[in-house]
């Protein structure tokens, strides 16, 4: 597929912003891969198109840029950077606002979109935030050890199968980060270690 000039400019804006604020490229790339795997797996439920997939990947790369300002509240600092930094000016304003919302929602309590946003955009913010939250939790230690080997129906919910980590050791963090995804998908989300 041929990539248009706009998409390349948006990729460049994200890369420049990550570089400017010293974001951890390996962590961002790994979180993006995990989030995009889940985006595909949950696509029958969220029904979001490819533009949203691109935005999710960009949010994964940008989610920790706020550490440049301070570790405490880095999700808020990151959202401000994404929405206002000159490096991001090539990114369309409405998409930048969505991107900033996802970055803000990657930790602490996820905030809903403003009521004036179209319904699809409001749903997209929640879904993309939910997927980023889980992906970030799977690489919480920034080691890129955890990989998703499957997302499977399990009872009334889903099971995310991972290798490279024992999800039982991180059950509280994973459960907390999966709460929004559980709410959106309509059933419990559980994590299981891939069988060897």
The reported pLDDT for the residue numbered 169 is 86
Q: Is the pLDDT of residue 63 over 60?
A: yes
pLDDT digits (tens, 9 = 90+) for 108-126: 888 989 999 999 999 999 9
Which residue(s) pair with 159 in the sheet?
152, 190
SS3 string of 145-174? Answer: CCEEEEEEEECCEEEEEEECCCHHHHHHHH
Q: Is the pLDDT of residue 42 over 80?
A: yes
- What domains can you pick out in the chain, each with its CATH number? 5-140 (1.10.3210.10)
CA dihedral (77, 83, 87, 92) in degrees, to 10, reads: 160
Which residue(s) pair with 54 in the sheet?
none
Which residue(s) pair with 132 in the sheet?
none
The reported pLDDT for the residue numbered 60 is 98
The continuous run of DSSP H or E covering 50 comes out as: helix 50-62
The reported pLDDT for the residue numbered 1 is 35
pLDDT digits (tens, 9 = 90+) for 135-151: 999 999 999 999 999 99
Full-model pTM: 0.94
Nearest Cα to 101, choosing from 71, 80, 84, 73? Answer: 80
Q: What is the full DSSP assignment across 102-134?
A: HHHTTSSSPPPPPTTS-HHHHHHHHHHHHHHHH
Q: Rounded to whole angstroms, how far apart are CA atoms 183 and 189? A: 9
Q: What is the mean pLDDT of residues 171-181?
A: 94
Q: Is the pLDDT of residue 91 over 60?
A: yes
pLDDT digits (tens, 9 = 90+) for 124-135: 999 999 999 999
Q: What is the mean pLDDT of residues 72-101?
A: 96
Lowest mean pLDDT among 6-15, 94-103, 152-161: 6-15
Two tokens, residue 110: 């996820």
Mean pLDDT of the chain: 93
């Amino acid at each position: 597929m041929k990539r248009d000039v706009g998409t390349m400019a948006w990729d460049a804006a994200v890369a420049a912003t990550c570089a400017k604020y010293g974001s951890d490229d390996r962590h961002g790339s790994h979180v993006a891969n995990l989030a995009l795997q889940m985006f595909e797996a949950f696509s029958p439920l969220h029904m979001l198109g490819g533009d949203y997939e691109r935005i999710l990947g960009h949010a994964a790369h940008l989610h920790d840029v706020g550490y440049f300002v301070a570790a405490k509240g880095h999700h808020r600092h990151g959202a401000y950077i994404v929405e206002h930094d000159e490096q991001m000016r090539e990114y369309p304003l409405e998409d930048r606002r969505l991107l900033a919302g996802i970055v803000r929602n990657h930790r602490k309590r996820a905030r809903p979109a403003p009521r004036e946003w179209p319904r699809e955009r409001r749903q997209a913010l929640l879904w993309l935030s939910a997927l980023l939250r889980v992906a970030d939790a799977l690489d919480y230690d920034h080691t890129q050890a955890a990989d998703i080997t499957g997302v499977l129906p399990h009872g009334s919910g889903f099971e995310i199968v991972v290798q490279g980590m024992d999800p039982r050791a991180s059950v509280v963090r994973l459960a907390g980060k999966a709460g929004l995804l559980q709410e959106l998908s309509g059933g419990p989300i559980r994590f299981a270690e891939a069988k060897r």
